[in-house]
Amino acid sequence: MENEFFLNPALHFEPPSASIMATWHSLSAAMDIQIQGTEQSQDCFFSSNADQSVHFDSALSSMVSSPAASANNVSNDSFVIRELIGKLGNIGNNSANNSCYSTPLNSPPKQLSLPMTDHLVKENLPSLGKSMPLNSCVAEFSADPGFAERAARFSRFGSRSFNGRTGQLGLNNTEFQKKPNLLMGNGNQNLPRVCSSPSLKAQGSQTGAQENKNSSPLQDSQEESTISEQNPNGDSNSRKRKAVSRGKKEPPSSSPSANATKVGEANDNSKAKRSKPNEDNGNGNGNGPVKAEDETQKSSADKTNAKPPEPPKDYIHVRARRGQATDSHSLAERVRREKISERMKLLQDLVPGCNKVTGKALMLDEIINYVQSLQRQVEFLSMKLASVNTRMDASMDSLFSKDIFQSNNNLPHPIFPLDSSASAFYGQQPQQNPALHSNISNGTVTQCSVDPIDTALCQSLSMQLLPLNGFSESVAQYPNFGEDDLQTIVQMGLGQNPSRETALQPQSFHGSNQIPHMKVEQ
């Protein structure tokens, strides 16, 4: 019950306390509150937020001890209420975990203007519930005996009993009533749309009950933002209210004159946002800490949204984002699409040269090409092994011991095996080219060695034996695939321009070097 009290009077800090004063003026008149502050405490409140703790204590004592009428033009009641809110804000500042609270508190005192207007009051009244954060405040306030008194009195503002006690508060009460209904109604309505599981609904109802318990429905979503901070994994309700609170945080930093419109906007925004769960809320204004907290909240919301399978239970919890359909089919569809896009990103890292390619179709093309080229390479290498088998000796043991395990050991430096292979190819070419030339010139003997390779080329590479231009073009299409073996085969098969070959070799060499780097980075 005390909670409700503390939350209610301290509800509103965002508009200048002038409006607060007017508001509470009317309310307090009805409630017959005799609390009065002193000018001294007012100065403390208004002057500086730096020494808040000191002022807080002094102000409290002054408030509790004697209700001396202030000689200001400000009415006593409203002043006191302003003070109350100031103290609540100070408590918020004192507490460790409420960075967001400090900023709205810091800003308004500078903008305070003593003259107040009733229209501001009326407009601001509905938004009262949205401002102050009070989880921590509540705890500290409860220690104060004076506030306990007022708690008892203000407890009539409590949400559960709130709707019942219309007569006590007069006109403004109706506004209060509307808002909680709106809030709770929308909150409850939003629950089934967003939840993709009964467990979430249960959670949502729990949080709904929790909200009822802790505060009036006017209560600020900032408080729920604290709840959401405490439960990062997933109160849908709290996240929704967080979105509302972000809208509400905008006004505090603005000037009082513009506040009316802004608060009106914020109200509309909040309503609109309540109808759809909101993820992105443009923070036009914003002090640094407010923005920081918004961003952290947003990032946490984004994180949780980015990984929809966040399972407290066996269901996959998906969050419907703003502007998106919320029925189960589209949600499942979206989950599937996100999974697929995730896998495509993986593949993008695997397939070299795919960083610039965007879009599923192009990526699939690249992937298909790459897999085909790899399979062709396997086929070609097997052909090569088959033809080379003739020269296989008992060097198998040496092969076992040396090469494979060397390449394995060099996995952190995979460039070495490829270096050796590439250099081997380099070394081979001058040897093989004259050999091929001689073979070709001989004719008969060469048929055995050259033809299988040529046929293999034709079959596996599905390339015709074009002039080297064509080959260079087609090879250049896959510069990063490290098909240095292909190039060497091309050169071996054609046995043409050594200059072109040397020109192509560095390209392939660099290409082959790129691949191991990429693979090591994984």
Partner 1 sequence: MSPKGVTLNTNSHKIKFARRFIRTLLRMRKNAPSSSSIEEIRKRSQRIKIAAYSSMAHAVGSRRAWSRAILFKLRNRARHHGMMRRRSMKKRVIKNDPPGDQSQTNKLRQLVPGGKAMDMCSLLEETAHYIRCLSTQVKVMQTIADHFSK
Binding site for partner 1 (CB under 8 A): 336, 339-340, 342-344, 346-347, 349-351, 361, 364-365, 367-368, 370-372, 374-375, 377-379, 381-392, 395-396, 399-400, 402-405, 407-408, 411, 414, 417-418, 420-421, 424-425, 428, 448-449, 451-452, 455-456, 485, 515, 519, 521-522
- Cβ-based nearer residue to partner 1, 69 or 399: 399
Asked if 48 contacts 98 with a C-beta cutoff of 8 angstroms, the reply is no
- Cβ-based nearer residue to partner 1, 285 or 446: 446
**Residue at 224: amino acid letter:** E
Asked if 24 contacts 120 with a C-beta cutoff of 8 angstroms, the reply is no
Phi-psi region of 393 (alpha: psi -120 to 50; beta: other; left: phi over 0): beta
Rg (C-alpha) for the chain, rounded Å, is 37
Structure tokens at 134: 């009070």
**Residue at 467: amino acid letter:** P
We find the least distance from the C-beta atom of residue 389 to partner 1, in angstroms, to be: 6
We find the least distance from the C-beta atom of residue 239 to partner 1, in angstroms, to be: 25
Task: State which H helix or E strand residue 351 sits in.
Answer: none
- Cβ-based nearer residue to partner 1, 1 or 344: 344
Q: Where are the beta strands (DSSP E) in 258-376?
A: none
Question: Cβ-count burial of 277 within 10 angstroms (0-12 exposed, 13-18 middle, 19+ buried)?
Answer: buried
What is the rounded distance in angstroms from the CA atom of residue 24 to the CA atom of residue 81? Answer: 6
We find the least distance from the C-beta atom of residue 329 to partner 1, in angstroms, to be: 17
- Cβ-based nearer residue to partner 1, 448 or 476: 448
Please spell the DSSP secondary structure of 354-372, one letter per residue: -SS--SHHHHHHHHHHHHH
Provide the 8-state DSSP code for 461.
I
454 CB-near residues (< 8 Å, 6+ apart): 465, 493
We find the least distance from the C-beta atom of residue 359 to partner 1, in angstroms, to be: 11
We find the least distance from the C-beta atom of residue 337 to partner 1, in angstroms, to be: 10
We find the least distance from the C-beta atom of residue 398 to partner 1, in angstroms, to be: 8
Length of the chain: 522
- Cβ-based nearer residue to partner 1, 160 or 336: 336
- Cβ-based nearer residue to partner 1, 64 or 344: 344
We find the least distance from the C-beta atom of residue 266 to partner 1, in angstroms, to be: 41
- Cβ-based nearer residue to partner 1, 372 or 438: 372
- Cβ-based nearer residue to partner 1, 318 or 351: 351
We find the least distance from the C-beta atom of residue 358 to partner 1, in angstroms, to be: 15
b (16+ CB within 10 A) / e for 90-116? bbbbbbeebbbbbbbbbbbbebbeeeb
Please spell the DSSP secondary structure of 287-351, one letter per residue: -HHHHHHHHHHHHHHHHHHH-----SSSSPP--PPTTS--SHHHHHHHHHHHHHHHHHHHHHHHS
Question: Cβ-count burial of 180 within 10 angstroms (0-12 exposed, 13-18 middle, 19+ buried)?
Answer: buried
What is the rounded distance in angstroms from the CA atom of residue 274 to the CA atom of residue 289? Answer: 24
We find the least distance from the C-beta atom of residue 350 to partner 1, in angstroms, to be: 5
**Residue at 135: amino acid letter:** N
We find the least distance from the C-beta atom of residue 374 to partner 1, in angstroms, to be: 4
- Cβ-based nearer residue to partner 1, 437 or 519: 519
